[in-house]
Amino acid sequence: MEFKFAIGPRVRKSPFFDAAVAAGVTRFTTYNHMYMPVSYGDLEAEYWRLKQGVTFWDVACERQVEIVGPDAAALAQYLSPRDLTRCTSGQGKYVLLCNHAGHLINDPVLLKLNDERFWFSIADSDVLLWVRAIAAERGYKAQVREPDVSPLAIQGPKAEAVVCDLFGDWPRDLKYFWFRETELEGIPLVLARSGWSKQGGFELYLQDGARGSELWNLVREAGRPYDIGPGAPNNIERIESGLLSYGGDTDDETNPFEVNLGKYIDLDIEADFIGKTALREIARTGPKRRQVGLFLDGENIVPNQHRWDVTLEGEIVGKLTAATYSLQLKRNIALALIELRAAESGRGLVVRADDGPRRAEVTGIPFC
Amino acid sequence: MEFKFAIGPRVRKSPFFDAAVAAGVTRFTTYNHMYMPVSYGDLEAEYWRLKQGVTFWDVACERQVEIVGPDAAALAQYLSPRDLTRCTSGQGKYVLLCNHAGHLINDPVLLKLNDERFWFSIADSDVLLWVRAIAAERGYKAQVREPDVSPLAIQGPKAEAVVCDLFGDWPRDLKYFWFRETELEGIPLVLARSGWSKQGGFELYLQDGARGSELWNLVREAGRPYDIGPGAPNNIERIESGLLSYGGDTDDETNPFEVNLGKYIDLDIEADFIGKTALREIARTGPKRRQVGLFLDGENIVPNQHRWDVTLEGEIVGKLTAATYSLQLKRNIALALIELRAAESGRGLVVRADDGPRRAEVTGIPFC
């Protein structure tokens, strides 16, 4: 089944939209109320380019929630269960956002621009609404807004070469998630070593939405000697690498411990944060479910369009959230969120795929 | 330009998804993290069916935010600037949700199921996050969740006939936005006189997501004598009728007075509500912008894919948010949010459409 996509003013166009269209984008999704390219027509070629070469992605839909003001640092800490006391200017950190019940509501990268200015580079939920509500109800002295900032990712083993051809040698010394405010031919941007793959790379946080095509073309030209091509976050690579898709792999009641992210929860810090009491209780009693990797039997699997039931002796014990045929492992792999007892025994599982039942075997994450 | 739509597990399928696909849906958007059909291939035929006959729509993406508990009524009032003291069980009300700055963040229909149970039937923003944050920070004794509830709309002048064939005669006496909990062949649902058109009709709030196709088929069969057909909220009709599209016609700083919704703001009630101070100040100084209708010169207009600048003597004075060729008026109409002085003079405006400038004349809303 193929459906057309409605383009209208309720959902925003990215600053890179026109450039992506000119480059031949064929398929979109929406993310944070913005169109997001997901393919240029050959997912397998895009996968290999990401794994072996270099690719660039319109990920403007990773919107920023900016917090500015004298209480910005205190507010950022109240919002995130990770200890931020040693986070310095120019440093980014992967943080989880949980609600008061300890359930995941987003998993952004937090960028500390200075002591009074932070960006949460968010996954697909309206964190802006949430942060404004918290800040206002608690009287934090901080402005909360969505700035004109739109990331363009350059990913793959040759990404560093492209970025150094554009910016000089200094990006080689950037540590993972660290960043610097800079410019490119007068285009203001933040350059960070980050991106939603495990192949290495950078994100250019464009700070002038009117100059999207200009930045796109600069990257394309710099990448030409390396055979750069347009792409998008790649579902095969991210499953192989075990990267969490917020909203894809999580549901309304997923807590960080269930998806193996407990290491980003610092329950013993002095500062209060949202969900601290609930997360302590979950940590004490242990999670009831766990995200696991699965190998699936049978023919090469068509990626799931919705969640599939995972069963043990005929009883539903959880959901498969993402399945794909791994081009590297040459077998069917999947992520699933299942009851602890099923995760621990790991045997006898059956997945109810759209094309029929498949035997499944539990394995570790990441796959590659 | 036509693009394909990525279907994957991050965005949810509606309980009516399979039925809509079987009925020939051709085009989707996403809304509240759910796929929403927007056309079955002939928008003009769908328009006339809505205006002259009866049509039914998968609007499951109008998700419910349910508030239950002893403080539910107090919380609902704190969230909405409309006086709810006289709202009784079985009554719905169109309410605005504003943030602490008085800016619109949603415009749901509020359904009061009983003194301790309310639904906000929401437009496209994550109100669930926001309400949970407010409830937790202020200690309201209320649970906030998204229940298994999915509206199916029946709209058009013959909608009442279809609904009465299904439910008996009692729906004739339902006043606008009122509702009743009932069932249809054992399928639990809420029947309300409501829907996002001005052609009259009902919404069936399905309360069992496993029975979507069953309900769809019952409505289709009951509608057969009236030549019912599948459809979707219709952009031409809604612009003609001046219905607000939250997120389409509004931006991050739109307040209710700007979009002519001041009548839903009760600044003098005793209860506190979010945004009260800010809204009082806006009411005192008056809004800086106003939503107006525009007639546009020139050839039949292709609906805008993004906002167009509105200019006065070469200076940008606001944005056109929605343009269409009106099938009823047989001329180009549009909604725009522009500076007050431009709205009040109403002359000499020029819209920068994608295909070139168009002269524009201010007019009232609704158009029809």
Could you write out the DSSP letters of every residue in A90-142? Answer: T-EEE--EE-TTS-EEE-PEEEEEETTEEEEE--SS-HHHHHHHHHHHHT-S-
How close is the nearest chain A Cα to the Cα of B268, in Å?
21
Which DSSP category does B267 fall into?
T
The predicted pLDDT at position A1 comes to 67
Question: pLDDT, tens digit, for every residue of A62-80?
Answer: 999 999 999 999 999 999 9
Q: How far apart are CA A37 and CA A26, in angstroms?
A: 8
Which helix or strand (DSSP H or E) is residue A367 part of?
Answer: none
pLDDT number for residue A345:
85
pLDDT at B346 over 90: no
Q: What is the mean pLDDT of residues A119-139?
A: 98
Residue from the list A105, A138, A146 with its beta carbon closest to the beta carbon of B129 = A105
Distance from CA of A34 to the nearest CA of B (A): 10
Three-state SS letters, B86-103: CCCCCEEEECCEECCCCC
Residue B6 pLDDT grade (very low, low, confident, very high; cuts 50, 70, 90): confident
- Of B3, B247, B321, Cβ closest to residue A27: B3
Q: What is the mean pLDDT of residues A272-282?
A: 98
Spell out which residues of chain A touch residue B124, defining contact as CB-CB under 8 Å: 10, 33
Query: What are the structural domains of chain A?
Result: 17-62+149-238 (3.30.1360.120), 288-368 (2.40.30.110)
**What pLDDT is recorded for position B173?**
97
* B303 to chain A: closest CA residue: A8
Window 39-78 of B, Cβ < 8 Å to A: 39
A254 touches chain B (CB under 8 A): no
Separation of alpha carbons A196 and B157, rounded Å: 50
Tokens of B199: 């052609």
B132/A99 Cβ within 8 A:
yes
Calculate mean pLDDT across residues A176-185: 98
In the prediction, which pLDDT does A5 show?
Answer: 84
Residue numbers of A between 189 and 208 with CB closer than 8 Å to B: none
User: Does the pLDDT value for residue B5 go beyond 80?
Assistant: yes
**A-B Cβ pairs (cutoff 8 Å, strict):** 156
Look at A27 and B136 and tell me if their CB atoms are within 8 Å.
no
Contact A10 B99 (CB under 8 A): no
Average pLDDT on B258-283 reads: 98
- On chain B, the residues whose CB falls within 8 A of the CB of A126 are 125-126, 129-130
| Helix locations, A172-307, DSSP H | 212-223, 235-240, 276-285
Does the pTM exceed 0.95?
yes
When CB atoms are compared, the residue of B1, B127, B322 closest to A21 is: B1
- For chain B, how many helices (H) and strands (E)? 9, 22
**Residue B37: enclosing H or E segment and its boundaries?**
strand B34-39
A window 86-125, beta carbon within 8 A of B: 99-101, 105, 124-125
Torsion of CA B15, B17, B18, B22, to 10 degrees: 140
Distance from CA of B168 to the nearest CA of A (A): 37
pLDDT digits (tens, 9 = 90+) for B271-287: 999 999 999 999 999 99
